[in-house]
Amino acid sequence: MEKQKFVVIGAGPVGALAALYAAGRGFDVEVYELRGDLRDPQVVPLNFTRSINLAMSERGINALKHANIPGLVDSIMTETIPMHGRMIHGVDNGSFTEESQNYDIHGRFISAVDRAGLNKRLLDELDKLPNVKMFFNYKLTGADFRAKRAWFEERSKPLTDHAQNPSEIQDAPPRATEIEVAFDFMLGCDGAHSAVRYHLMKYTRMDYTQSYIDTLWCEFHIDPTPSTAGTSEGDFKISPNHLHIWPGREFMFIAIPSSDKSFTSTLFLPAHHFAHLDANPSELVPFFNRYFPGVAGRLISESDLQKQYTENPHLPLITIKCSPHHYASSAVILGDAAHAMVPFYGQGMNAGLEDVRVLFSFLDAAAPTPEGRTSALAAYSTQRTPDASAICDLALRNYQEMRADVASPIYKFRKWVEEKLSVAVPRLGWATQYSRISFGNQRYSEVERLAQRQGGVLLWSMTGFVGLLATGAVYGAWAWWRWNRAAATSRGLLKGGIGLTAIGERIGRVFL
Ligand code: FAD
């Protein structure tokens, strides 16, 4: 086959890694990015007010390793901060409380990584490769996947402004000249509002769903402690080795550490609460004091809290699923373009980077012909669409765990049982769902299946156990009743039965 030209759309983390994989295999690679070069200090990363930190875990790291670039992973990991567990914040008798919950009984951890730092590092690697050309401020506007031609607007004025909503950028009025580009294979890594996906739909019978949850997010910033005399910089205000959560049952506030000793925090709140606080700004601090104790005044000054709430955008959370992810031999979508998910499992970027590793494992195994690539892409779509769908669902479900279950004794009991079993009887192969997702590379759909099976076994064991207890209790009460012959006892039994049913219901919710 003639030397092939791979065109990558989007130079986010997924696009940059995909370009590195393609270039490493000797293809001619061109990367087209709508925005300016992230390494230019004028350019603000898409969707965030500043560079933010994300949780990176095994799948993302494994995909970076498979790029086979000496020193790449080490240089990225030295800039990360290990997060060994969640720190659950609350209040008890007027005092602030913190409860550390380790992620993993084997001591494994996830890492807080600066998203822009990671992205820039990948772009720097691309710069070194002679077979890669990068085009910033180029917006994909059209594509013909049969003729293998694409059209771009070359934007005369770079988009350096902060976008309230990424779809607004796609719709921004043209300030540009159009160019036509020929390609052999297009990799669409252009995020949740993907233009590649939009054009792909015209060529393949793509099933597509998108749904919003009734929660918006707003970013906050927790500064380091002020520097004291003799020290050049301050310190972390709270433990740097945890992902901090203030669970609020229907909503939550979280904080992730940054290497400059600050924290990026996020408020997740139903839209009607945002509307209420927007209309009643004086209620913001009391709201925080009530639900997120110790944040207002202690971690973020009250005036800063108010300012950040007002100035930072309140953004939606979307889930996007589609199938297939490819067309013939000429196009595939990866990352958020193929599967945008809510951020509650910390897997969006990890899953996108994993897409790249999985895709190239299929391409590497295929014949180096267009027909070979067609089969490889079909096989990739068949494997990856159920996995993408599974992690989208798991991420949605994990919101319940983060904002409410982390404080529930039943959740903690299940975690304890699963972890103890994983150590005591390793051949059973038990593990928590979290550790399978974050510390392994098992397919997401397989993890979902195993977690459901484990939950089922636990539920039945617990039901058996509770059943035995209940039988014993009923028998004891019956004997007592016979002995006393008191009618009041039957009312007690009735109440006990209702209580057991309620407990059973709660257990079922956590296990299944
Ligand atoms: P993007 O990062 O969206 O990059 C797409 C690129 O394509 C952009 O640079 C864009 O400018 C460009 N582009 C768009 N349209 C065009 C066009 N027409 N032509 C050319 N270029 C175009 N993930 C985790 O793994 N861990 C976390 O802890 C985590 N936390 C998160 C917290 C929040 C609040 C949010 C919102 C997300 C979080 N994520 C997390 C998800 C993560 O940010 C995304 O999954 C990840 O950035 C997706 O990368 P991507 O490269 O696929 O897309």
Does residue 348 carry a pLDDT above 90?
Answer: yes
pLDDT of residue 162: 43
Residue 227: DSSP 8-state: P
Instruction: Share the mean pLDDT of the chain.
Output: 90
- What is the whole-number distance in angstroms between the Cα of residue 402 and the centre of ligand 1? 22
SS3 430: coil
How much is the average pLDDT of 73-99?
96
The rounded distance, in Å, linking the Cα atoms of 451 and 453 is 5
- Ligand 1 atom at minimum distance from 166 CA: 14
Q: Which amino acid is at 193?
A: H
- What is the whole-number distance in angstroms between the Cα of residue 10 and the centre of ligand 1? 9
- What is the whole-number distance in angstroms between the Cα of residue 115 and the centre of ligand 1? 9
The rounded distance, in Å, linking the Cα atoms of 85 and 66 is 27
At what angle are helices 488-511 and 444-484 packed, to 10 degrees? 170
Before 82, cis peptide (omega within 30)? no
How much is the average pLDDT of 213-225?
96
Please identify which residue in the block is written with the tokens 């052999």: 184
The rounded distance, in Å, linking the Cα atoms of 127 and 125 is 5
- What is the whole-number distance in angstroms between the Cα of residue 191 and the centre of ligand 1? 5
432: closest CA among 443, 444, 416, 410?
416
Better pLDDT: 454 or 322: 322
pLDDT tens for each residue of 47-78: 554 557 899 999 999 999 999 999 999 999 99
Does residue 158 carry a pLDDT above 70?
Answer: no
Six token digits for residue 504: 């059973």
How much is the average pLDDT of 313-333?
97
Answer yes or no: are the C-beta atoms of 451 and 436 closer than 8 Å. yes
Length of the chain: 512
Does residue 246 carry a pLDDT above 80?
Answer: yes
Better pLDDT: 176 or 93: 93
List the helix and strand counts (H, then E) for the chain: 15, 19
- Ligand 1 atom at minimum distance from 138 CA: 20
Pocket test of ligand 1: the residue of 52, 54, 269 to mutate, having most ligand atoms within 8 Å of its CB, is: 54
Six token digits for residue 267: 């408020």
How much is the average pLDDT of 242-248?
96
Distances (CA, A) of 457 to 75, 450, 466, 501: 43, 11, 14, 19
How much is the average pLDDT of 11-37?
97
Residues with CB under 6 A from ligand 1: 9-15, 32-35, 46, 54-55, 139-140, 170, 189-191, 195, 217, 266, 335-336, 343, 346-350, 352
pLDDT of residue 163: 46
pLDDT of residue 410: 82
Atom 4 of ligand 1: nearest residue by CA position: 12
Atom 1 of ligand 1: nearest residue by CA position: 191
pLDDT of residue 284: 98
Predicted complex: ipTM over 0.95: yes
- What is the whole-number distance in angstroms between the Cα of residue 180 and the centre of ligand 1? 26
The rounded distance, in Å, linking the Cα atoms of 304 and 310 is 10
Q: Spell out the SS3 assignment of 161-207.
A: CCCCCHHHHHCCCCCEEEEEEECCEEEECCCCCCHHHHHHCCCCCCE
pLDDT of residue 161: 45
Better pLDDT: 292 or 508: 292
Percent of the chain with pLDDT over 90: 71
Q: What are phi and psi of 72, to 5 degrees?
A: -60, -55
Full-model pTM: 0.88
pLDDT tens for each residue of 381-415: 999 999 999 999 999 999 988 887 887 888 888 88
Six token digits for residue 61: 């790291």
pLDDT tens for each residue of 165-209: 555 555 555 556 899 999 999 999 999 999 999 999 999 999 999
The rounded distance, in Å, linking the Cα atoms of 363 and 197 is 20
Answer yes or no: are the C-beta atoms of 200 and 145 closer than 8 Å. yes
pLDDT tens for each residue of 271-302: 999 999 999 999 999 999 999 999 999 999 99
pLDDT tens for each residue of 457-477: 877 777 887 888 888 889 888
